[in-house]
Amino acid sequence: MPSKLIFLIICSTIVLCTLLYGAVHQPILSLFYLGTALILILWVFDSISMGQLRYNTHPLQIPIIATILYGIIQIIPFGYIPDIAGVRDIPNTISIDPFATKLSIMHFFALLVYFSAVLTFVDSAKRLKKLVTLIIVFGFLYSFYAILQSVLSPGKIYGIYEVPLAQPFGSFVNRHNFAAFMEMSLAIPLGMLFAGAVPKDKRLLYITAITLMAVALLLSGSRGGLVAFFAELLFLIFITTDTRGSSQMLLKIALVIIFFVVTILGTIFVGGESTLTRIAETAQSSDVTTNRLHIWSVTLKIISHYPIFGVGLGAFPQAYTKFDSLSGLERVEQAHNDYLQILADAGIFGLVFASLFVFYLVKTGIRSIKEKNNFRRAVAIGALSGCFAILVHSIFDFVLHVTAIAVIFLTLCAIVVTSGNSFPDDDPDKKRRKRKRKQKAELTAIDNPPGLEGNKQSSDPTEI
């Protein structure tokens, strides 16, 4: 029973974090933390009822644990800063903002609990299928709602919450975050379609869902999301096509081109001309990066001053003001490049942890996409392509700093891992079943050759 409740919380977290504005506001973050605390409590009850602690020891968790431990080191006081204007007893820590670092540690810990729970309790083919189905169905319904909202009430989320200084889309305050969510939701059905794991009677449903999600992504107007989506498609073509079969690759490229054309036509059909025009106008403007180049240059200054230890997890906004050469009227809290921000926040240690995470993910992904079970192989391909897309998108934005995006990303990472595991309730592939029936028929024919029955009858002593 505790195991079922934990799995229910895992599924609910994906949906609720997305619907509740991406879980970026403190009250909603508190609910997310309470959810992870409830997972821990139920985990204890599950261990008691099972008589043992169930825990997946996959090394993909190591970089997250290392980041948490390093964050704790960043807030340890090493002496005190000399008195300044009568202010004394200020602890001398690596982090320039210990409070922000404490919040980041708590956030990383909650994400670790969630990630570990997915790795541990998605322990059957049935649960893996349920999780995959949830992502596909929710992504389809959510994209449909987002398209309706963009037409009926583009400036207000749910027609209630107005965000005057941002560009919301769907339930996200930032349209780039919506695009990131769509990239990953799209990845699973795309991977299954490219890998040939979708039954013929369901292909039209999958294609419809994929097209609708792609239209919603394009309507969001996120150039980073569009680049990441294109990279995702190229990645899928690369890992699902035999390099020796050029005709197969050409066919898939042609299908991708047709898919893009249909997506653009669908976007125009629902009134997305302004979105396409905005993307084109931004690409031709004098500042193509929309001030990102300046933010990146300031971030590089921060990195050059704190190359080893960084300024502290979550302390980037405070460090930015010191090196910003502009008026300071614009509030900058993220580097709009997750890789640069990792270096700024945690220095060379952060780079090592991030590289280790990507290494384990790629290593596990290579093993999982070689699975013989067609469903698990297809799901692994889709999940890995979604992770690849978000890693590309992170070059231009800070999408992984949004809780809902981090949750779905870690879910895809867990799917990559669990897809490489064999389960007792795995459904054998149709091709393998046919092959086994054929082999069984051949063995039967060998054991009972023609004429054997007649020979047996003639040797019966009662007939002599």
Cβ atoms within 10 Å, residue 36? 19
> CB burial class (10 A; 0-12, 13-18, 19+) of residue 243?
exposed
Confirm if 393 and 402 have CB atoms less than 8 A apart: no
pTM tops 0.85? yes
pLDDT, mean of residues 175-192: 95
> Does position 456 have pLDDT exceeding 50, yes or no?
no
| Nearest-10 Cα torsion for 279, 284, 285, 289 | 70
pLDDT for 442: 55
| pLDDT tens by residue, 193-226 | 999 899 999 999 999 999 999 999 988 888 889 8
> Does position 20 have pLDDT exceeding 50, yes or no?
yes
pLDDT for 262: 66
pLDDT band at 328; cut points 50, 70, 90: low
What is the share, in percent, of the chain residues with pLDDT greater than 90? 62
**Higher-pLDDT residue of 244, 405:** 405
pLDDT for 92: 83
What average pLDDT is seen over the chain?
A: 86
Confirm if 94 and 73 have CB atoms less than 8 A apart: yes
pLDDT for 222: 87
pLDDT for 282: 55
> Does position 264 have pLDDT exceeding 70, yes or no?
no
Of the candidates 318, 354, 353, the one whose C-alpha atom is nearest the C-alpha of residue 333 is: 318
| pLDDT tens by residue, 434-454 | 555 555 555 555 556 555 544
pLDDT, mean of residues 245-251: 64
H-helix or E-strand spanning residue 81: strand 80-81
- b/e for 382-408, b at 16 or more Cβ within 10 A? bbbbbbbbbbbbbebbbbbbbbbbbbb
> Does position 54 have pLDDT exceeding 50, yes or no?
yes
pLDDT for 266: 59
Torsion angles phi and psi, residue 64, rounded to 5 = -70, -45
Cβ atoms within 10 Å, residue 135? 27
Distance between CA atoms of residues 214 and 228, nearest Å:
12
Cβ atoms within 10 Å, residue 5? 16
Confirm if 189 and 135 have CB atoms less than 8 A apart: no
What is the share, in percent, of the chain residues with pLDDT greater than 70? 80
Distance between CA atoms of residues 442 and 448, nearest Å:
10
Segment 262-266 long-range contacts (CB within 8 Å, at least 24 positions apart):
262/211, 263/211, 263/214, 263/215, 263/218, 264/218, 266/211, 266/212, 266/214, 266/215
Torsion angles phi and psi, residue 162, rounded to 5 = -100, 135
- b/e for 76-110, b at 16 or more Cβ within 10 A? eeeeeeeeeeeeeeeeebbbbbbebbbbbbebbbb
Secondary structure (3-state) at 440: helix
**Higher-pLDDT residue of 245, 418:** 418
> Does position 245 have pLDDT exceeding 80, yes or no?
no
Cα 445 versus chain centre, distance: 51
H-helix or E-strand spanning residue 90: strand 90-91
> Does position 166 have pLDDT exceeding 50, yes or no?
yes
pLDDT, mean of residues 33-56: 94
Distance between CA atoms of residues 334 and 315, nearest Å:
10
> Does position 91 have pLDDT exceeding 80, yes or no?
no
Secondary structure (3-state) at 420: coil
pLDDT band at 460; cut points 50, 70, 90: very low
Q: Kindly state the DSSP code that residue 464 receives in the 8-state scheme.
A: -
Q: Kindly state the DSSP code that residue 159 receives in the 8-state scheme.
A: T
Distance between CA atoms of residues 367 and 417, nearest Å:
9
**Sign of dihedral through CA atoms 364, 367, 370, 375?**
negative
Distance between CA atoms of residues 101 and 113, nearest Å:
18
> Does position 461 have pLDDT exceeding 80, yes or no?
no
| pLDDT tens by residue, 118-158 | 999 999 999 999 999 999 999 999 999 999 998 888 888 99
- b/e for 158-195, b at 16 or more Cβ within 10 A? eeeeeeeeebbbbbbbbbbbbbbbbbbbbbbbbbbbbb
pLDDT for 275: 52
DSSP 215-269: HHHHHTT-HHHHHHHHHHHHHHHHHHS-TT-HHHHHHHHHHHHHHHHHHHHHHHH
| pLDDT tens by residue, 376-424 | 999 999 999 999 999 999 998 999 999 999 999 999 999 999 999 999 8
pLDDT, mean of residues 111-115: 98
pLDDT for 153: 85
